[in-house]
């Protein structure tokens, strides 16, 4: 399991101002990095770099001159990005930083994208992996259904799970439908929201806290104002805060497991809060322990067993076969009225697979 400390109120309101909170930088290929200056910030614990983007370009270039030129340009960009990725990986680790890679998810072919990600990143056992779903729009980004399959394929390949990077709206949708997205809802959450306080927005119905919070980016960091500036990086660099100190973050990196399943909020009972605590705000609602909701297979099994019992109630019991038919019928009527079977030396078992036996007995055949 991926362990995360219990969320505190301070973790949701400008936690980067707390000097003991660890920071992580994430970048893509067009962010220039001065590694010497970046290393002077001792709060920076990790560096996560963009790896793959959707599927790789085609291996062979076809078509007219324009199409061939575009294909070669894509291949050049892919090769440069991969070389830069590996170079940054070596430098970051040499500086003592934890390393990570993220995949920008595109529509279609989740298995192929997962394989492209693993082949591109070539992750070591201590390298963090992340699936980047920018928004819940399947026309531009990977659908959540495909993302589930992407996560499965990553686990098949390397035996651990990626972190989920997404915004507040998408995270809330996954939390509200956690029984549909059983893997995505249990991945450690890399939360992207550029507000100083996220206490009222964070999807506490599923996640009790974030693994990382991307709080600074081009959207809220400029020349004159920025939540946090990292030495040696441009103003559009992404900066993330962890709800823990540097030593704890190093110990939990690379978050390769699933978070503990939260109780069903609809079936459980909230533990009452005092009026004073509720009015103070920034409180975590806890729920009493309840039985785990039945799975789909369990419900099918129960309904099938009940249907068999219901159907068997309409089947007639086996009729005794006898050499003298009037005697057999009289005995059957007597048994039906008294709700008990009358012992008879002429009783025979019904034919296999038949509920009502009409076959002749051996004694019948002898008389014939």
Lowest mean per-residue pLDDT among 54-63, 95-104, 127-136: 54-63
Q: What is the pLDDT of residue 126?
A: 97
Q: Phi-psi bin for 282: left (phi > 0), alpha (psi -120 to 50), beta?
A: left
CA dihedral 168, 169, 170, 173 (to 10 degrees): 120
3-state secondary structure of 17: helix
User: Helix, strand or coil for residue 45?
Assistant: strand
pLDDT at 9: 77
Start-to-end CA span in the chain (Å):
76
pLDDT score recorded for residue 270: 63
Kindly report the number of other CB atoms within 10 A of residue 158's CB atom. 18
pLDDT band at 143 (very low <50, low <70, confident <90, very high): very high
- Per-residue pLDDT at 299: 72
- How confident is the model at residue 168, as a pLDDT? 96
- Answer whether residue 71 shows pLDDT above 50: yes
Q: Which pLDDT score, from 0 to 100, does residue 269 have?
A: 57
Q: Which among 51, 60, 57, 54 has a CA at the least distance from the CA of 74?
A: 57
Residue 42 burial (CB < 10 Å; 0-12/13-18/19+)? exposed
Residue 69, pLDDT > 60, answer: yes
**Region 39-45: what's the mean pLDDT?**
97
Distance of alpha carbon 233 from alpha carbon 179, whole angstroms: 41
**87 bridge partner residues:** none
Q: Which residue has the higher pLDDT, 332 or 49?
A: 49
What does R_g of the chain's alpha carbons equal in angstroms? 33
pTM, 2 dp:
0.72
* pLDDT score of 357: 42
Going from the C-alpha of 220 to that of each of 214, 229, 329, the distances in angstroms are 11, 12, 91
For the chain, which domains are there? Answer: 15-260 (3.20.20.80)
- State whether the Cα torsion 247-118-33-198 is positive or negative: negative
Q: For the segment 253-262, what is each residue's pLDDT rounded down to a tens digit? A: 999 999 986 5
Residue 71: both structure tokens together: 């294909």
- Rounded Cα–Cα distance for residues 126 and 250 (Å): 10
pLDDT band, residue 61 (cuts 50/70/90): confident
Tens of pLDDT, residue by residue over 261-305, are 655 544 555 677 777 777 776 666 665 655 555 666 667 777 787
d(CA 267, CA 67): 57
CB 101 within 8 A of CB 128: yes
How many Å apart are CA 33 and CA 230, to the nearest integer?
10
Q: What one-character DSSP code corresponds to residue 297?
A: H
DSSP secondary structure code for residue 139 in this structure: T
> Residue 10 — very low, low, confident or very high, per pLDDT cuts 50/70/90?
confident
């Amino acid at each position: 399991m991926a362990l995360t400390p219990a969320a505190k109120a301070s973790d949701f309101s400008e936690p980067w101002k707390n000097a003991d909170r660890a920071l992580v930088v994430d970048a893509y290929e067009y962010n220039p990095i001065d590694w010497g200056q970046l290393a002077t910030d001792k709060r920076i614990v990790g560096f996560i770099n963009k790896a793959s983007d959707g599927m790789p370009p085609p291996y062979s270039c076809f078509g007219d001159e324009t199409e061939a030129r575009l294909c070669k340009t894509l291949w050049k960009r892919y090769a440069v990005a991969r070389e830069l990725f590996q170079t940054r990986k070596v430098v970051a680790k040499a500086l003592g930083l934890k390393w990570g890679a993220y995949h920008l998810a595109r529509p279609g072919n989740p298995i192929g994208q997962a394989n492209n990600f693993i082949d591109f990143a070539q992750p070591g056992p201590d390298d963090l992996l992340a699936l980047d779903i920018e928004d819940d729009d399947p026309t531009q980004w990977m659908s959540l259904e495909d993302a589930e399959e992407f996560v499965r394929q990553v686990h098949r390949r390397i035996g651990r799970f990626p972190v989920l990077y997404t915004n507040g709206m998408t995270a809330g949708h996954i939390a509200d439908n956690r029984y549909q997205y059983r893997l995505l809802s249990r991945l450690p959450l890399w939360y992207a929201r550029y507000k100083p306080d996220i206490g009222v927005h964070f999807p506490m119905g599923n996640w009790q806290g974030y693994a990382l919070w991307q709080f600074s980016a081009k959207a809220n960091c400029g020349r004159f104002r920025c939540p946090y500036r990292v030495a040696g990086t441009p103003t559009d660099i992404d900066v993330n805060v962890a709800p823990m100190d540097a030593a704890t973050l190093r110990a939990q990196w690379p978050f390769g497991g699933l978070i503990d399943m939260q109780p069903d909020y609809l079936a459980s009972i909230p533990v009452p809060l005092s009026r004073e605590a509720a009015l103070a705000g920034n409180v975590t609602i806890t729920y009493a322990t309840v039985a785990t909701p039945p799975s789909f297979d369990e419900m099918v099994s129960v309904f099938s067993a009940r249907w068999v019992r219901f159907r068997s109630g309409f089947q007639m019991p086996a009729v005794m076969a006898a050499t003298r038919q009037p005697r057999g019928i009289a005995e059957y009527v007597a048994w039906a009225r008294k709700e008990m079977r009358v012992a008879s030396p002429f009783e025979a078992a019904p034919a296999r697979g038949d509920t009502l036996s009409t076959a002749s007995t051996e004694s019948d055949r002898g008389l014939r």
